[in-house]
Amino acid sequence: MSKVAFFGLFAWGSSKCKQDKLYAFSTCRLPGSGDIIIDAFFSLSTKTTKRRFLWTFFVTAPSHDPIHVRWFNAAPWCSANRHDRLGLERRWHPRLGFYCPTCARNQLYGLRFDHARVLLDKDVAGAQIEESIAKNTQANADILSGGGPRPSGDANRAEPEPSRLLIQTKRTAISQSAGRTEDILSHIAALEKEIEDGKKEIARRRAALAQRRSDAESANYEVASRRARTLGTVQKSIRAREKQWNSVHDKAVESRAFLIREVASMFSLRQRSRRRKGDHANLFSIGGVNIVDLRHMNSVNPAQITASLTHISRMLVLVSHYLALRLPAEIVIPHRGHPLPAIFTPSSSYIARRQDSSPSLSPSHSITGHSITPRSAEAILLPRPRPLFIDRSLPKLAKEDPTSYALFIEGVSLLAWDISWLCRTQGLHIGSESWEDVCDIGRNLWQLLVAPEPLLKALVKSENQHNPGPSSGQDKDSPENTNGEGNTNNLRRSRSLPILGHFSHGSAHTFLGSVEGVEFMKTWKLPSPVKIADKLKATLLGEMANAEWELLGEDEWEEEGVQQVDDESSDRGVVLLK
């Protein structure tokens, strides 16, 4: 490859390059077509009259890249040797900087030409590769489609045999086809197995359905008659159980009646008769103490009132316990620390964790103060019981302590209301007609606990006449089950009779809180205990206001077995409790 050399001629005038100005160089230029081609570096010096020219030639690179050509012109004030040395030392070096765009552009052209050459070579190689690939692809397609190489234009010459790539492609396709065939065959086998399993499952289900149909037909065969027989057996068993249950309940009722009659006998509940001015009157006593009619308490000794109320409270608690009944107003019987009875209102009865306290009615204390000081402030909030005792005559108590008098009247009214409620639960309609009947607590207790059987049956019959209802053998609302053959099986519950010991809170049979018990108690139209207390208080206060005392002779009283109370013990207020 030829090498191109460039030369330049020093010219006077103004220079554009800073380096030329410093060393009096001429301007830079690119090589032209008329440049001298030489094989080596040489220098030519020419002497003129006043100047010395140094011509320096530089040889181009083998790649025909242009290089910087500088002509050095020695300054006139320098010697010739320095001119020659300066021209040799100022040849261009890569580490030297550029002082004009042309110098930098000329230096970069070599790299740009190299990059362009590489890109052209790459394009040529890519075109060759694409042409070869297209040719091989077409040949392989022709071979695969036609089964062999296509003949060329010359009939005596055929195209070359398939290449190694084609053979490898064929082998790969064959192996892939074999793999797919194996997968398809295995999938077919799996599907055939699933079909066989499905057929077996269908056969099994058909057999199970057939067995179930057979069982259903067997179960439905004469199902009505078998159902009727089974229902009859169950009803018969229920009736037997109910009969046994009723028998046990009847025995419990008899036991309750026996126990409460024994309680009445133990407390010596008696009835006596007397005549006053030709009128016949009945007196009732308990424990040898006359039971006071609440309407006549103004003229009765306070010790007698306290004793009779104490005996009645004890007996009433025992009777309610044996009858398994909970009285509406809770009674507090005498016990340790509380020797006298009391009663709570229905709203404050049966409260858990209550400290029962007995009020004292001594002259120095009223019912507003307790005999026992509460241990904590919580006891102040507890309900206060109503006393069932007094320590002075009732008119005197009304004048000296109206509050204690009002509480005592409320307490005896609650006690009479409890007795009337107890009679009503046992089927006795007596003692609940009016508040006057409620106040006669002795008569109500005697008819409930001591009355003979004929009298009790008559009272029950009178109750049934007041409240007619279904007979005891059957119930109007009993359900009836009729089978297909016309046989009727009735399951009836025996209706309870309002007799002594029948209704209670302690058994499921004839439970007083059931619907039947609630309906039975709805017929009780007795006023509330507050109204009874108000009427009793008004009656007693009116009697005290209109009292007219008269002295009667002993011959005007004809009493049979009237108990005499010791005057001394009455004056001291001492009561002997038996």
Angle at 43 between CA 37 and CA 46, to 5 degrees: 115
User: What pLDDT sits at residue 148?
Assistant: 52
Q: Where are the beta strands (DSSP E) in 483-556?
A: 488-490
Q: Which two tokens stand for residue 239?
A: 């009736």
Dihedrals phi, psi of 311, to nearest 5 degrees: -65, -40
Report mean pLDDT in 10-residue bins for the chain, 578 residues: 37 40 41 41 40 38 38 39 41 63 80 91 92 81 60 50 75 91 95 96 96 90 89 94 91 90 91 75 87 88 92 94 92 87 90 53 38 46 85 89 92 92 82 75 89 56 50 40 41 50 86 85 79 88 69 48 40 36
Residues paired with residue 366 on neighbouring β-strands, in sequence order:
none
Spell out the long-range contacts of 411-414 with Cβ–Cβ below 8 A and sequence spacing 24 or more.
Answer: 411/342, 411/343, 411/385, 411/386, 411/387, 412/294, 412/297, 412/309, 412/388, 412/536, 413/294, 413/529, 413/532, 413/533, 413/536, 414/329, 414/343, 414/344, 414/345, 414/346, 414/386, 414/529, 414/533
Q: Which of 441, 387, 434, 427 is nearest to 411 (CA)?
A: 387
Dihedrals phi, psi of 493, to nearest 5 degrees: -100, 130
User: What pLDDT sits at residue 435?
Assistant: 80
Residues paired with residue 545 on neighbouring β-strands, in sequence order:
none
Q: Which of 369, 366, 390, 393 is nearest to 380 (CA)?
A: 369
Decide if 455 contacts 447 (C-beta within 8 A): yes
Decide if 526 contacts 436 (C-beta within 8 A): no
Q: Using CA atoms, how far apart are residues 203 and 205, in angstroms rounded to an integer? A: 5
Q: Which two tokens stand for residue 337?
A: 């620390």
Decide if 310 contacts 317 (C-beta within 8 A): no
Q: Using CA atoms, how far apart are residues 497 and 475, in angstroms rounded to an integer? A: 12
Decide if 135 contacts 61 (C-beta within 8 A): no
Q: Using CA atoms, how far apart are residues 203 and 208, in angstroms rounded to an integer? A: 9
| Dihedral (CA of 210, 214, 219, 220) sign | positive
Number of CB atoms found within 10 A of residue 486's CB: 6
Which residue type sits at 560?
E
Q: Using CA atoms, how far apart are residues 432 and 463, in angstroms rounded to an integer? A: 12
User: What pLDDT sits at residue 141?
Assistant: 74
Q: Given the DSSP bridges, would you call strands 58-59 and 72-73 parallel, antiparallel or unpaired?
A: unpaired
Q: Using CA atoms, how far apart are residues 297 and 390, in angstroms rounded to an integer? A: 11
Q: Using CA atoms, how far apart are residues 293 and 284, in angstroms rounded to an integer? A: 9
Q: Which of 71, 68, 58, 62 is nearest to 101 (CA)?
A: 68
Residue ranges of domains in the chain? 5-114, 164-221, 241-372+382-466+528-545
CA 412 from chain center: how many Å? 51
